């Protein structure tokens, strides 16, 4: 809204130079600048655990395209409260978790729209009078149903799940096969130490490209280190190349041969079955309130100061598995151990707070330490194909916002 008259006294505004802002409508009676005003609203990409998005038909908005759920922020509401209210009012679902994506100006409606990715459990819709119909649409097909360039289209494009697992693993295993046939050509010599340097580059590339999902079959290579340590009953503090060199009396070429033998075993490991513990409200309260539960320091804001400016020695910490929903104990073939995976609304993730490969007993003890008593049941391993899987989840602030690596 652009002011011509003062909304307080009715006087006609003049144009006045104000700082770096240029000429702004100004009331000479009230002696105040009359800044342009706009409506603040939210727009949501509502997704479920099956990688589907709820797209709405609202004929008063568009008769040719689907749209995303949206609504105006009421006086006294936060944007997050508006998201929860609108999702419940318009499609009858409860928000499990939400994530801010970006702000979108909408000049045609004199509006600023705050974009969110919203996670819900798939259920039947209960529609408001404003909504003509809603459909669950596979996220990879959603853009074609939205008007290209619209705010809904931009939001969905930005917050889609990683639909196809990264080519990182396929390229990695192809390159390992090439190195095996002609190591001198591809890494310069036949030394295991050179191979280690080469593979460290792959690891760096994986960390550099943010939010790169992984697969469990074959196992991701970052587990190879613990596999080798467990295979030879050595300390996990040693690098896998050092453990292998110990077995070959520091013979680099024999070490390279042994690497490929171990790598073949590692690649053959499959998931046998898995157990799941669904986190109850009691588990979540335990995790969020008990002082002994593991915490994560927020990077970059580890220190607080009191009024005198003296370090109060109070790190900003968050319960390490905040917003988790379920935990999985995953059994590997040939007694190679078990994996621990944590399920969140949008993904599954490993944890760096304990070994990646452990015994079933140690996983359950570790989880009970963090969540109290838990009920474990058998689960279908196909669950691991329904959400992206990441190596690490980093908490960014006290509210539990995060990023994946």
pLDDT, one tens digit per residue, over 137-172 is: 998 889 999 999 999 999 998 876 444 344 455 567
Question: Token digits for 316?
Answer: 């900003």
Q: Regarding beta strands 271-278 and 326-332, do their DSSP bridges make them parallel or antiparallel, or are they unpaired?
A: antiparallel
For 388-404, the pLDDT digits (tens) are 888 888 777 767 677 77
CA–CA separation, 403 vs 371, rounded Å? 23
Q: What is the pLDDT of residue 373?
A: 92
The answer to whether residues 330 and 350 touch, using CB atoms and an 8 Å cutoff, is no
CA–CA separation, 256 vs 241, rounded Å? 9
Contacts for 240 with CB less than 8 Å, ≥ 6 apart: 196, 224, 225, 228, 229
Percent of the chain as helix, strand, coil, to the nearest 5:
35, 25, 40
CA–CA separation, 292 vs 345, rounded Å? 25
Q: What is the pLDDT of residue 40?
A: 92
CA–CA separation, 109 vs 342, rounded Å? 42
Q: In which element (H, E) is residue 84 found? A: helix 79-91
Q: What is the pLDDT of residue 63?
A: 85
Q: Regarding beta strands 402-404 and 326-332, do their DSSP bridges make them parallel or antiparallel, or are they unpaired?
A: unpaired
What does the H/E/C string look like for 178-219? HHHHCHHHHHCCCCHHHHHHHHHHHHHHHHHCCCCCECCCCC
Q: What is the pLDDT of residue 300?
A: 41
User: What residue has token string 């809603």?
Assistant: 134
Q: What is the pLDDT of residue 90?
A: 95
pTM, to two decimals: 0.58
Crossing angle (nearest 10°) for helices 240-247 and 224-231:
30
User: What are residue 395's DSSP bridge partners?
Assistant: 402
Residues of the chain with pLDDT under 70: 160-171, 201-212, 294-317, 398, 400
Q: What is the pLDDT of residue 303?
A: 36
CA–CA separation, 347 vs 253, rounded Å? 41
CA–CA separation, 330 vs 105, rounded Å? 46
Q: What is the pLDDT of residue 299?
A: 45
Q: Regarding beta strands 389-390 and 348-349, do their DSSP bridges make them parallel or antiparallel, or are they unpaired?
A: parallel
Q: What is the pLDDT of residue 292?
A: 73
Distance in Å from the first CA to the final CA of the chain: 43
Q: What is the pLDDT of residue 310?
A: 41
User: What are residue 67's DSSP bridge partners?
Assistant: 56
Q: In which element (H, E) is residue 40 found? A: strand 39-47
Q: What is the pLDDT of residue 168?
A: 53
- Other Cβ atoms less than 10 A from the Cβ of 31: the count is 7
């Amino acid at each position: 809204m652009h002011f011509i008259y003062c909304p307080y006294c009715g006087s006609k505004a003049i144009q006045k130079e104000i700082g770096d802002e240029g000429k702004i409508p100004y009331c000479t009676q009230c002696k105040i600048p009359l800044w342009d005003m706009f409506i603040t609203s939210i727009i949501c990409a509502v997704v479920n655990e099956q990688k589907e998005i709820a797209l709405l038909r609202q004929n008063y908005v568009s008769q040719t395209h689907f749209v995303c759920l949206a609504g105006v922020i009421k006086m006294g509401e936060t944007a997050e409260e508006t998201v929860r209210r609108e999702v419940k009012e318009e499609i009858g679902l409860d928000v499990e978790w939400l994530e801010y994506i970006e702000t979108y100006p909408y000049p045609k409606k004199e509006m600023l729209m705050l974009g969110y990715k919203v996670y819900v459990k798939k259920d039947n819709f209960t529609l408001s009078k404003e909504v003509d119909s809603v459909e669950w649409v596979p996220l990879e097909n959603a853009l074609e149903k939205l008007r290209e360039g619209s705010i809904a289209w931009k939001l969905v494009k930005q917050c889609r799940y990683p639909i196809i697992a990264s080519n990182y693993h396929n390229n990695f295993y192809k390159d390992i096969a090439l190195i095996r046939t002609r190591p001198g050509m591809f890494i310069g010599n036949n030394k295991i130490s050179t191979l280690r340097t080469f593979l460290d580059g792959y690891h760096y590339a994986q960390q550099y490209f943010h939010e790169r999902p992984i697969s469990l079959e074959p196992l991701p290579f970052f587990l190879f280190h613990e596999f080798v340590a467990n295979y030879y009953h050595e300390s996990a503090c040693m690098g896998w190349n050092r453990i292998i060199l110990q077995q070959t009396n520091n013979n680099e070429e024999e070490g390279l041969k042994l690497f490929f033998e171990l790598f073949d075993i590692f690649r053959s490991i499959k998931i046998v079955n898995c157990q799941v513990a669904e986190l109850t409200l009691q588990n979540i309260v335990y995790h969020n309130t008990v002082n002994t539960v593991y915490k994560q320091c927020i990077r970059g804001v580890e220190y607080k100061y009191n009024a005198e400016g003296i370090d109060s020695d109070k790190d900003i910490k968050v319960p390490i598995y905040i917003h988790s929903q379920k935990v999985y104990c995953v059994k590997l073939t040939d007694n190679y151990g078990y994996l621990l995976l944590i399920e969140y609304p949008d993904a599954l993730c490993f944890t760096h707070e304990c070994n990646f490969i452990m015994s079933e007993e140690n996983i359950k003890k570790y989880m009970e330490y963090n969540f109290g008593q838990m009920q474990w049941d058998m689960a279908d391993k196909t669950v691991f194909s329904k959400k992206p899987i990441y190596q690490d989840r980093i908490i960014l602030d006290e509210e539990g916002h995060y990023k994946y690596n």
